[in-house]
Amino acid sequence: MKQSILLALLTIVSVRMMAQNNDVPYSQLGLGDLDDGYYNRTSGLANTGIAYRSNRFLINNNPASFSGLTDQYFTMEIALRGQYLNYAGTQVNVGSTESADLTFRKLVLGIKLTRHWGSSIGLLPYSTQNYEFNAPYYINGTTVQVANNYYQGHGSVNRAYWANSYEFFHHLSIGVDASYIFGQLNQNNIIQSSSTGATLVSTTNNVNLQNLYFTYGMQLYGAIGKNWNYSIGGTYSAKAALLAASTKLVLNNDSVALQNIQNQEGYMYLPEAWGAGISLGYKQKYTLVADYRYQNWNGVAGVNTYPGQGYAIVSSERGSVGFEISNKKAFANYRVELSYIQAGAYYENSYLQINGQQIKDYGLTAGFGVNSIKSPLSYNLIFQYGIRGTTQNDLIRENYADLTFVINFGQIWYTKGKKFD
């Protein structure tokens, strides 16, 4: 009976999750709204984790981190995020400025295959697109007749990855993340009668994107004296071609296809990117982390073409810091983490430059996690408050508050009956 109730509740959650997504106006540009979150143990640290290592959690921030898992440990994480958005700007109707959604963000699995080899696979969002707005305009050829242009876009680009890392000399870990980027961005432009609202003509542009994208990572770590430990990390991704196949379908007012164009496949390029981070721990209780990430979009500006006009894709950078306090308890010869609290801050110059204004994104995070002692589960709740964009130059500012819930399942495998060493 209880299982049935649980199943029903999860079904309700799933259905509601699929029902609505937040309107993100900036997502209509470029490849959509690039997701810089990892939805993991580092989320409460403002996603600062290039140098972070964990024996229990999957740190996707750096593929070199997976070697840090406990030997023979299998772990799985899923994440859900509820987001509340408040919009401000001259374009925003003051009577309707809010939006909220709940979305599934990731599913990842990892395992420590050998004493030095950690591996992980998973599915993460790369970018999302979701927007809609109406714009009346004069029909071409007349200065008196008005029609309504309804613009709507949705879609997502996802990243399925397989990452492996290997530890050398107990202080160096090197990893490779092989990601398969795939997804579809859909843009609809529906011209409607201004009097009846009836559809006059609609154009649907679909862009399918796919290809491999490699990220290389390194972590160097060790102890400094009896109480301190450190970790230095770095990541690098080479420029990669993204195969883009687009179609355009034009329907008239009777929904008869006037044009169905299969455009020749082309390439868009994901930029060269690199990141560097540092982590400093004290008595295995306090941890301070800092990251810097850079994406060289300027380097692919000449070869990429994006829909729309009046904006530019520019190189982006992000800096973040985080601080964590871990609450551990000794059991026999082991210190087991019971809970932790985290705080972080970040500042980002995004890859969008609109009306001469590079869109900035900054905010604070706070995280709290509990590791169940009597079950293989761990729960992580992260609150994030941020501001993206500006109201200057007719732009929109988004004030967002995220509540992310990450569930981690972990278990020792291949122990032949033994749970722990």
Partner 1 sequence: MTIIYHYLRKELLIISSFLVALSFLTGCEKQPNLGQFGLTNVSDNGSANIVVVDSSTVLLSTVYVDSVASAATGYMQVGTYNDAYMGQITSESYLQVRPPVNLPALDPVRDFYDSIGMAILFRKANPYYGDTTLPQTYEVHQVVDTLYQLPVYALGWYSNQYLPIGPSLGSATVTIAPNLPYTSQNAGDTVKIRMDDALGQQLYDMAYNKSDTLTDITSFLNWFKGLCITPGAGEPGGTMYGFFDSCLMRVYYRENINGAAVTKTIDFTLYTRPSQWNYITNNRTGSPIANLVTPTNVTQPPPVTPSPATGHASYVDNVLGLSTKLTFPYLNAISQRPDYIGLLRAQLTIIPLAGSFSTTWTLPPQVGIYATDLHNQPGAPIYAPGSGTPQTGNLIPNYLAPLQSTYTYDVTNFVANQITNTAQGSNQVGLLLSIPNPANLSQWRRLAIADQSFPTEQRIILSVYYISLYPHQ
- The footprint of partner 1 on residues 101-160 (CB under 8 A) is 101-102, 131-135, 137, 139-142, 145, 147, 149, 151
Q: Pick the closer one to partner 1 by CB: 222 or 307.
A: 307
Of 349, 363, 275, the residue nearest 315 (C-alpha): 349
Of 344, 346, 408, the residue nearest 380 (C-alpha): 408
Residue pair 407/39 in contact (Cβ under 8 Å)? The answer is no
Task: Give yes or no for residue 382 binding partner 1 (CB under 8 A).
Answer: no
Residue type, 150: Y
Q: Pick the closer one to partner 1 by CB: 232 or 250.
A: 250
How far is Cα 395 from Cα 361, in angstroms, rounded to an integer? 14
Within 8 A by CB and 6+ apart from 219, the residues are 51, 53, 62, 64, 65, 68, 172, 173, 175, 231, 232, 233, 234
Task: Give yes or no for residue 16 binding partner 1 (CB under 8 A).
Answer: yes
Q: Which residue has the tokens 């140098």?
A: 51
How far is Cα 392 from Cα 378, in angstroms, rounded to an integer? 43
Q: Pick the closer one to partner 1 by CB: 163 or 209.
A: 209
With CB under 8 A as the contact rule, the residue among 114, 227, 253, 327 that binds partner 1 is 253
Q: Pick the closer one to partner 1 by CB: 114 or 149.
A: 149
* Residues in 163-222 that interact with partner 1 by CB under 8 A: 187, 189, 191, 200-203, 205
Smallest gap, in angstroms, from Cβ of residue 344 to partner 1?
22
Smallest gap, in angstroms, from Cβ of residue 267 to partner 1?
14
Stretch that binds partner 1, among 44-52, 77-85, 293-301, 319-327 (CB under 8 A): 77-85
Within 8 A by CB and 6+ apart from 316, the residues are 34, 294, 295, 297, 348, 349, 350, 351
Q: How many residues bind partner 1 (CB under 8 A)?
A: 84
Q: Which residue has the tokens 């020749």?
A: 264
Stretch 288-317: interaction string toward partner 1, x if CB under 8 A: -------------------xxxxx------
Q: Ramachandran region of residue 48, left (φ > 0), alpha (ψ -120 to 50) or beta?
A: beta
With CB under 8 A as the contact rule, the residue among 227, 284, 377, 393 that binds partner 1 is 377
Q: Token digits for 178?
A: 């092989």
Read off φ and ψ for residue 262, nearest 5 degrees. -100, 100
* Residues in 391-420 that interact with partner 1 by CB under 8 A: 394-396, 403, 405, 407
- Dihedral over alpha carbons 60, 369, 290, 40 (to 10 degrees): 20
Stretch that binds partner 1, among 51-59, 215-223, 243-251, 324-332 (CB under 8 A): 243-251
Report the DSSP pairing between strands 172-193 and 228-237. Answer: unpaired
Stretch that binds partner 1, among 31-39, 44-52, 99-107, 319-327 (CB under 8 A): 99-107
* Residues in 262-281 that interact with partner 1 by CB under 8 A: 263
Smallest gap, in angstroms, from Cβ of residue 15 to partner 1?
9
Q: Pick the closer one to partner 1 by CB: 91 or 284.
A: 91
Residue pair 65/165 in contact (Cβ under 8 Å)? The answer is yes
Task: Give yes or no for residue 52 binding partner 1 (CB under 8 A).
Answer: no
Q: Pick the closer one to partner 1 by CB: 23 or 167.
A: 23
With CB under 8 A as the contact rule, the residue among 20, 227, 284, 327 that binds partner 1 is 20
